[in-house]
Amino acid sequence: MIQGTGSDVGKSLIVAGLARAFADRGIRVAPFKPQNMSNNAAVTADGGEIGRAQALQARAARRPASVDMNPVLLKPQGCAGAQVVVRGKVIGAAKAREYQDWKPRLEPVVLESYARLRAKSDLVLVEGAGSAAEINLRAGDIANMGFARRVDAPVVLVGDIDRGGVIAQIVGCKAVLDPQDAALIEGFIVNKFRGDPSLFDDGMRFICERTGWAALGLAPYFPPAARLPAEDSFGLRTGPASGDGKITIAAPVLPNIANFDDLDPLRAEADVRLTLARPGEPLPAEAALVILPGSKAAIADLAALRACGWHIDLSAHVRRGGRVLGICGGYQMMGRAIADPCGLEGDAGQVEGLGLLDVATVLGAHKTLTQVRGRTIADDVTFSGYEMHMGETNGKDCARPMLRFEDGGVDGAASADGLCAGVYVHGLFADDRQRAALVRSLGGAPSSFSYEKSIEATLDGWAAHLERHLDLDRLLGLAR
């Protein structure tokens, strides 16, 4: 089990790299995260949803993603707490304190999923959540040491030297953990090192002496890892604008942004400059296209958008002839209204939308989860992606749909002047054909870059990087 000293120390990527490295040795590897909290999710082939990181790890392990790989997924949705997804299906919502009472009921589900994966694998790589040292959440824990104790999993602790204080991170974990929990930790990895590794030799020795844990390696910072889909929006909020192309594409970063990896492939286009606007920053006036990304709480994010003044920027953008594309929750915000009669996102009621599309959305308990293929209606370009949303959108502009599925169904809406459009389908720009069509429509020259091949190459490179810098033979020998 790979646990961390905190969030965003690199646990997810370490598991992905190990999965690829061990799979390339001919080992049947399965990733597993008992409990995840993320609004970046993926749809499995069997019609469920799991954390995006576990889908990436499954890909690294060269096996299909399964709901058993992430049996409990918590999706924060503003004032409504978190949506609780169990084995790929929504079972309800809970506030943080309420969820503590759910854990005993969820533990058997977690253990059953783990047992199924273990029966079909030579090696299960388990990823913890947040910090191993969250002793305030230890009672009933199913995400970190509680799970490790339950299944007798040896633990490797990952610390992030890039954020500073890694010696205190790791030694501090040993200091606060219950002795029986600490006894499960066999070794540690220091991640994201920059500079001369010999300068940290004394640091590694000190950690070994103070903890009694084995040093399994010092992993240097690996810049290409930024190409891989992120588990949560921490990096997205702090990352700079990317590219210096002649076409500016902008997206506002809202509090409940979801499935934001829709934007990642655009970074690879030489003619595109992707700008992420934070609260307090205007949407750039030079933008050719503004994308409103997905949201786990569209009504709350619509209020946040207005509080930032971005609705004024959007109106000015459209008056100048700029284009707007809404994806999923962003599509819902673009309509005349969003109704939540059941109070799924907070108080029941209806709010006024941005009015960029003549449509209205009614949120409902049914959640659409499906992988889709088809062709764009305007230019007949093939696409593939996935749907993941609650609610139905209808109105006059739906008479101008954007996408036609293989089964004949349609998705999306467009304004009469064609400047504003919305779709429910995620993952469109990971499809090289769709991304190329978008860049051409904005007056640019699309690159010959293959997004999916780049992900594979990055996983291969990351696995080779870990082979060079970690003691993978010793790590594998720890597995019981």
Residues with a known catalytic role:
328, 426
HSE-CB for 436 with a 13 A CA cutoff: 14
Rounded (to 5) percent helix, strand, coil in the chain = 40, 30, 35
Helical ranges in 33-161 per DSSP H: 52-60, 96-119, 145-151
Q: Enter the DSSP assignment of 473.
A: H
Q: How far apart are CA 133 and CA 64, in angstroms?
A: 32
Q: How many Cβ atoms from other residues are within 10 Å of residue 450's Cβ? A: 12
Q: Enter the DSSP assignment of 429.
A: G
Structure tokens, 132: 């191993």
SS3 228: coil
Structure tokens, 17: 């790299």
Q: Considering only CA atoms, which of 402, 266, 417 is closest in space to residue 326? A: 402
Q: How far apart are CA 154 and CA 143, in angstroms?
A: 14
Q: How far apart are CA 417 and CA 130, in angstroms?
A: 47
Q: What is the dihedral of CA 434, 438, 440, 443, to 10 degrees?
A: -170
Q: Which amino acid is at 272?
A: V
